[in-house]
Structures are given as C-alpha cells and as structure tokens.
Structure 1
Amino acid sequence: MGVSEVERTVDAVADAIEAIGFECTRCGHCCQGLDGDHTATVFPGEIRTIEERTDEDWNGIARPMPFGLTEGAGETFEWALQIDSCGDCTFGSFEDGEHRCAIYEDRPLICQTYPFSLAPEADADPPPGVVDREGPVRAHECEGLGREISREKAEALAETLIERTERERDEATGVGDNYRPTDADGVVVFDSEGPKRPDGTPLDDES
C-alpha cells in the first residue's frame, strides 16, 4: 500500500487512532447506502467463511462490485457485500434502537476497521469522505469519531487495520496476476483467485 514499515507498527497506528478517538455508537450508518448502494469490499476467503457459518450461499453474501457493469454485463473487480432493495447491507438490522450485524463475528476486515484506513505515504489528495488524518491513519465520516478509546482497543484495532492493509495489497496483486481479458457473455468478476461468475463459480469451469 506504500505505507512504510515504521509507520505501520501497531504502536504507531494505535497512537494515531487514540489521537483521533473513536467509539462505535451502533448508528448503522456505515452499513447503509445513504448516498447510493452500500459497497463494502469482501474477499473470496471471507465469503467462504460466512458461507460456512450461515445458511447463505455465495449470491446471498456477495455481489459483483458494480463499477464497470452495464445492463447485467461486463467485467468488474472484487466483491461487495450483498444489499437489499434500499441499498443497505443485507446483514444489518435494528433492535431496540441499536444496529445489529447478523455476521458480526465473521464480518469482513473493512467492516471491522471502519471508519479507519491506512494512507499511502504520498497521499496529498485524500479520497472523498476522509474527515481527519493522524500520521498514517485516515478517518472517514462517522459519528463515533472524537470519542475516547482505550489503549487496549486502539491496539486491537491497529492490528486489524494493518492486517486489512496487507490483505488488500495481496488481493490487488492477485487480481493483477490473474487478470486476462475475456469475451465471455454476461458478468465476469476478477478477484485474487481468477475470473468468476456472479455466483462465485470459476469461469474456467465453463470450458
């Protein structure tokens, strides 16, 4: 990701998280498609873990990332958690005024680490939605920001954030290594394991 090894130490990332501050308020905004459809990235291995722990199949868990697709055809890269008719994550719900996640223990790394991400070293123009930054850590819009966080929680979050950053790098490398143009009809999703159909079936199985 371009973040130096020194910056990526757990202590440095935890220091930054502490300086920004965070406590989840269970508002559920990060699981909703407030400005369009929810597009939380989920990796192939994460999809299979959720499959094993729930009654959902691949289609019930993930959908092709919508970028690059038109009228049910085209190529895209990676997967997003499945959404309902409102554009919200299908695994979210509200109980007694608090947001609940049906796959909380197995939720993707991006969900575990929101609202934070690790920034590349040369990040002069942060992406839309970044509202704060401390060292290597970017904070995205969230009403839980600015609240006190314990050192223990900051370190645990830092470890997961570093894991996510390394996983994203490895996944991106895998996508590049496995990409090859195809003239297959319909939707083709390229992930770190190769080209797949929207139901997770490898495209090679059709040959």
Structure 2
Amino acid sequence: MTFEAERAAARDVDVADIADAIESIGFECTRCGHCCRGLGEAEHTATVFPDEIREIQREGADNWRDVARPMPFGLSETDGEPTTGETFEWALQTDACGDCTFYDDENEACSIYDRRPLICRTYPFSLSIEDEGDGTTSPMGSVVDRAGPVHAHECEGLGRDISREDAEELAATLKRRAIREREEAIGVRDNYEPRDVDGVVVHDSEGQKRPDGTPISE
C-alpha cells in the first residue's frame, strides 16, 4: 500500500469506530510517567514533526536542539553522541538519564502539556490501517491489546473506564496523527536528496537538515 493510499485509508476511518475501540479497551492516565522515560539503557524516542518542534519553540526560548534530536536509529555514535549517518525522523530531546527533557519529575507532569506532540497526546494507542502490522509509528512498548482498528501498547492505565467524550476526543486525535504521519512520510519521500556531507543528516518533509535544524544548502 502506498503512503497516499494509507493516508486515504486513514481519512476514511470513522472516528466513532475508533472511539468504540478505545472504550472497549479502556484507558485512564495514572500519571506514572513511564511513557516519558527511557526504558533501561534505551533512551526515550518519541517522534516529533518539524511543525511540532516549532510549536514547542514558539512559547519559549528553546532552540531546535533543546526541543529535538535526530532519531538515533541508523546513526553511528561516539561517546554516546551521534556523529555520522542519515535518519528520517526527529525525536524529542532527552536528558542525561535518557528521559524526555520536558518531563518534570518534581511535579510528575509534562512541562509542555498543551504543546505536546501527537504521539504523546495519543499514547498508549496507535491506529492500524493496514492488513497487517502496527500501521502507524508505534509508541514505546509492545502491542498488548487490540480492538477494531486500534492497537494498545504497554501502559498501566489500560483497562480503566473512559468516558465517551474523552474516547471521542482521543479518537479524533489518533486519526489526525495517522493522517499526519502519512503526510510526513510523503514529504520525506518527495523531498529526499542524498547528501555527501560529513556528520549527521536528517531527512524530513522539509528537506535535509543538520542536527540543529538548519537546512543543508547546496
């Protein structure tokens, strides 16, 4: 299935069907913070889109690297820092412990809650619009439950009662995320240009960038 076909399929999914699935699984955030932290030696890797990075920047003085880092998969590292290679996504920045830098341990809350990325807004769910597989980019954790087009990932808040209103709001956001992911993938594909340059290159829907978010010029 092409990205365009996947996008069309995501647009066709009924929000009510997604909400039904979420209701049947059940969910209530317990504010445990597990989804904001790394797992063991693995750093937190929540996908963030270029426009989401700028939205987070807009409300504060954060520069690009304060908000996001190149998704580490496929990159070579030296002393824990990526030094060479190409990647196709951005991830929220992490602290020295590998946790999301925007998680406030003292208050046990997200410090950018109103500006958090779509993947954070929809955790622990993902929307499958394909015959097999997880469909969308999956958040951290294995699939532990499924209902209709919805996959649920590891989270202690699963199985708890959720109101219809909250289920519908979450369903609409999950659909928006699935569409946005396909649009980003289309943009990455259409704007991809191999770059013979030193260091790390991030290919996103806007072109090729350095780790600090600046475009790589000809």
Q: Which residue of 1 aligns with 2:105?
A: 94
| Correspondences of 1:35-184 after superposition (within 5 Å) | 35=40, 36-71=42-77, 72-95=83-106, 99-123=108-132, 129-184=142-197
Change beyond 3 A, Cα 1:121–1:18: same
CA RMSD of aligned residues (A): 1.8
Contact kept, 8 Å, 2:52 with 2:117, in 1: the verdict is yes
Provide structure 2 residue ranges, at least 5 long, that are not aligned to the other structure.
78-82
After TM superposition, where is structure 1 displaced by more than 6 Å over at least 4 residues in a row? 125-128
- Partners of 2:11 and 2:88 lie apart in 1 by 30
Q: Report matched runs for 1:180-199 at 5 Å.
A: 180-199=193-212
TM-score scaled by structure 1? 0.93
Q: CA deviation at 1:193?
A: 0.3
**Secondary structure of the equivalent of 2:208?**
strand
Alpha-carbon distance between aligned partners in 2 of 1:163 and 1:6, rounded to the nearest angstrom: 8
> What percent identity do the matched residue pairs reach?
64
Asked if structure 2 preserves the Cα contact closer than 8 Å seen for 1:7 and 1:13, the reply is no
Task: Give ranges in structure 1 of 5+ residues lacking alignment.
Answer: none
Give the drift of 1:94: 2.5
Offset from partner CA, 1:128-187 (integer Å, 9 cap, x none)? 600000000000000000000000000000000000000000000100111111101101
TM-score w.r.t. the length of structure 2 is 0.88
